[in-house]
Amino acid sequence: MDPCHGVRPCDRGGDFTIDEMVRRPPHPISGMCISRCFWQAAVTNSCFEPNAIVRIHAPINLRTGRLHRLAADILVSETKSPGVRQYLKTSGAGFQLKFTQLTGRDLIKLGAPQCH
């Protein structure tokens, strides 16, 4: 099964360190953006195409498979858009292991930059 559901381009996330993320330059988000892709975009103030599909889940402790609370707290606090940061807190999307799916349009409405 295709985790990107045929949506391309597709960034399926992967391992990262927060230090690596915050040092990267912003980049446009289009197509499917899963987990690490979203967090990197959020902490670098990357822009979103309205039709992008974003799937968010909280950071996971690789040793235990459980929520990595410290990493989640840091990533949420480093999210540049105040509206997106507030959404991650109030909805719980920044702290849940299950996926929350949003579109670029949703994130733009929350205050994330739109690509031009």
Per-residue pLDDT of 39-70, as tens digits, reads: 999 999 999 999 999 999 999 988 899 999 99
**Quick check: 14 pLDDT over 80?**
no
Q: How many residues does the chain have?
A: 116
DSSP 93-113: TTT-SS-EEEEHHHHHHTTPP
- The lowest-confidence range among 2-6, 24-28, 77-81 is 2-6
Residue 19 backbone class (left: φ over 0; alpha: ψ -120 to 50; beta: rest): alpha
pTM: 0.90
Looking at the chain, the number of H-run helices and the number of E-run strands are: 5, 4
pLDDT of residue 37: 93
Q: Give, in degrees to the nearest 5, the angle at Cα 39 between 33 and 45.
A: 95
Q: Give the span between the Cα atoms of 23 and 18, in whole angstroms.
A: 9
